[in-house]
Amino acid sequence: MGEINGGRLAARQLKASGIDTIFTVAAGPMVQVLIGAVEEGIKVVNCRHDLSAANAASAWGWVNKKPGVVVLGSGPGTTNGVTGLYVATDSAMPLVVFGGSVGTGSGGLGAFQETDQVRFAAPGSKWASRIGSIRQMPDMIHLALGKAISGRPGGVYLDFPGNIVSEMVDEDSIPLRTMLPQVSVPYPDPRAVEQIADMLANAEHPLVLIGKGAAWADAGEPLRRLVDRGIPFVASPMGRGTIPDDHDMSMAAARNNAIRGADAVLMVGAKFNWMFQQGMNLAKGVRIAQIDIEPEEMYSIADVEIGLFADCAVAVDQIDKALVSRTLRSASNDWVSQLQETVLKNSASLEEEMTSDSIPINHHRLVADVRDVVDRDAYVVEEGEVTMGIMRQLMPAFLARHRLGAGSTGCMGVGFPYAVGAKLANPDKQVVAVLGDYAFGSAAMEIETCARLGINVVVVISNNAGISAHTMQARFPADAPPVGAMIPADYEKMAEMVGAYSERVTDPAELQPALKRAFAANSVAIINVITDPDAGKGRRTPRTMYI
Ligand SMILES: Cc1ncc(C[n+]2csc(CCOP(=O)(O)OP(=O)(O)O)c2C)c(N)n1
Ligand SMILES: [Mg+2]
């Protein structure tokens, strides 16, 4: 019987829990966990910033429906990951941060990188705790992974004291946790199902709102049956694709009319947060029903009348079945046709911009060309402000959990790492990230990670030379030094430095050919597109462009 250290034990437990990929910035005292992972055949993805590693892990987890695991070093390594925990928890993405820390019993005596990491992590986490002894390690890892993935997914922190990571034990003396509980989903209360069916049937203007909880629950098939009865829907940014955006009940392009005009709303797996204007744009007297796996979500500014605590897929299926014996009152009015008309009108109003040949390149043209080139089942990541807003306007999604973006925290810097995580979870599918120049820059060194590990994502930079193009700079006095404006840099040269593929595109006619070459490049690729710094000027405030 040989001896192993705590790091190897952690790796064995991860493998036993079905984790085949982990993310990291290699650092003490966690190196033994990483060595153990390599020895156990787990893929170790070393990123170029701890936060990027955490974000990549979140995306890997979200796409895979597994906990994404990131292993970080002590002190700043782990505190850099704290934003990742907050973003994951707020965006309901399953992330587990293993943070190596100074050994137990040091307690403020000036050891290297000593700080109270559990306390740093706690407010951003669903759960934060510390391994107290090597005997507990498999149990604590089992617990942490379970906490991240169950109920409403989110970020979880587990502290690994360095002395426990390097402690030696007989390899068979501590049993691993090999049983993964098959947890049933909560079934809906049939009385609430009937009430919601009545509410929808009696409404003049029913509307379904779809959030990422519906995507997480794979509620697409029952949702499609429900809306096929003639009920329009609008999805949140990361809920998009749960029903394909080209469905004729999709009112993404008439979102405001749909939300303002509805007299009955069924919210499926989303919050009434800022993305849905906290419900404040809903009509007076609107009736609201909400389905969520987390009952506390029913409490918000919106007046929710019927809260259905249940799995979204099962609940929607049962509501749909309950509607079989009912006739929708809205079937005999023009609610749907009016909205569809608005969709056509709004979409047509963008036609000129989508086909614009202007130089610098129009953002709508860029997004339309990306849209026309990518596969239907591609993973698409959007980030920036102007750029992300226009992506949300124009870029459709066709499958659940195939669209990632800055999410409910609006955190810049997630885009490139999310693309990395999505590609590692699904190497055979196209992954394209359309990022603002600032957004790209905040995690740009992941280009080296991709080149090193053969992670062939296509990064399209919307290079409008500024934060929110030049709308941020325009708020400063005319003679102010550049604050929000930036150099329209030669980002394509960052690909050259790691032997990756890149192009700089200034002519809109070159967009589609360049994108096609990028997808065919068999390497990570950067397409640096010089877009219009004046985009968005004087039209809307930047914040509303997020949605
Ligand atoms: C972590 C973080 N820091 C700062 C911000 C504030 N912020 C919002 S959008 C943005 C940058 C937008 O510029 P860019 O990525 O170039 O996209 P554009 O709007 O120009 O298309 C920043 C810094 C943020 N949302 N998140
Ligand atoms: Mg920009």
User: Of the candidates 144, 133, 143, 72, which has an alpha carbon nearest to the alpha carbon of residue 104?
Assistant: 133
User: Of the candidates 12, 16, 22, 88, which has an alpha carbon nearest to the alpha carbon of residue 425?
Assistant: 22
Decide if 337 contacts 323 (C-beta within 8 A).
no
Nearest CA to ligand 1 atom 18: 468
Question: What is the structure's pLDDT at 277?
Answer: 87
389 CB within 6 A, ligand 1 = no
Instruction: Please tell me the distance from the alpha carbon of residue 399 to that of residue 253, in angstroms, as a whole number.
Output: 18
467 CB within 6 A, ligand 1 = yes
Question: What is the structure's pLDDT at 541?
Answer: 41
Question: What is the structure's pLDDT at 538?
Answer: 62
Question: What is the structure's pLDDT at 270?
Answer: 94
Question: What is the structure's pLDDT at 108?
Answer: 77
Question: What is the structure's pLDDT at 61?
Answer: 98
411 CB within 6 A, ligand 1 = yes
Decide if 320 contacts 222 (C-beta within 8 A).
yes
401: left (phi > 0), else alpha (psi -120 to 50), else beta?
Answer: left
443 CB within 6 A, ligand 1 = no
Mutate to test the pocket of ligand 1, among 385, 395, 546 (most ligand atoms within 8 A of CB): 385
Sign, CA torsion 215/221/224/229: negative
Nearest CA to ligand 1 atom 10: 467
Question: What is the structure's pLDDT at 107?
Answer: 73
Instruction: Please tell me the distance from the alpha carbon of residue 48 to that of residue 25, in angstroms, as a whole number.
Output: 7
Instruction: Please tell me the distance from the alpha carbon of residue 64 to that of residue 36, in angstroms, as a whole number.
Output: 23
Decide if 488 contacts 437 (C-beta within 8 A).
yes
Q: Which domains does the chain have, with CATH numbers?
A: 3-170 (3.40.50.970), 190-344 (3.40.50.1220), 350-530 (3.40.50.970)
382 CB within 6 A, ligand 1 = no
Question: What is the structure's pLDDT at 542?
Answer: 39
Decide if 29 contacts 165 (C-beta within 8 A).
yes
436 CB within 6 A, ligand 1 = yes
Type of residue numbered 546: Y
CA 377 to ligand 2 centroid distance, Å: 27
241 CB within 6 A, ligand 1 = no
The number of beta carbons lying within 10 Å of the beta carbon of residue 151 is 14
Decide if 19 contacts 95 (C-beta within 8 A).
no
Q: Which pTM was predicted?
A: 0.97
Instruction: Please tell me the distance from the alpha carbon of residue 459 to that of residue 407, in angstroms, as a whole number.
Output: 19
The secondary structure of the chain in percent helix, strand, coil, rounded to multiples of 5, reads 40, 20, 40
Instruction: Please tell me the distance from the alpha carbon of residue 485 to that of residue 134, in angstroms, as a whole number.
Output: 52
Decide if 140 contacts 129 (C-beta within 8 A).
yes
Mutate to test the pocket of ligand 1, among 52, 392, 464, 468 (most ligand atoms within 8 A of CB): 468
CA 466 to ligand 2 centroid distance, Å: 4
Sign, CA torsion 163/166/167/172: positive
Residue 357: burial class (beta carbons within 10 Å; 0-12, 13-18, 19+)? exposed
Atom of ligand 1 nearest to the CA of 469: 20
DSSP-assigned letter for residue 375: -
462 CB within 6 A, ligand 1 = yes
Side-chain-side CA neighbours of residue 400 (13 Å)? 22
Question: What is the structure's pLDDT at 103?
Answer: 78
Sign, CA torsion 119/125/128/134: negative
Question: What pLDDT tens digit does each residue of the chain (547 aa) get?
Answer: 699 999 999 999 999 999 999 999 999 999 999 999 999 999 999 999 999 999 999 999 999 999 999 999 999 999 999 999 999 999 999 999 999 999 776 677 888 999 999 999 999 999 999 999 999 999 999 999 999 999 999 999 999 999 999 999 999 999 999 999 999 999 999 999 999 999 999 999 999 999 999 999 999 999 999 999 999 999 999 999 999 999 999 999 999 999 999 999 999 999 998 888 888 899 999 999 999 999 999 999 999 999 999 999 999 999 999 999 999 999 999 999 999 999 999 989 999 999 999 999 999 999 999 999 999 999 999 999 999 999 999 999 999 999 999 988 999 999 999 999 999 999 999 999 999 999 999 999 999 999 999 999 999 999 999 999 999 999 999 999 999 999 999 999 999 999 999 999 999 999 999 999 999 999 999 999 999 999 877 654 433 444 4
390 CB within 6 A, ligand 1 = no
Between the CA atoms of 59, 65, 67 and 69, what dihedral angle is there, to the nearest 10 degrees?
-40
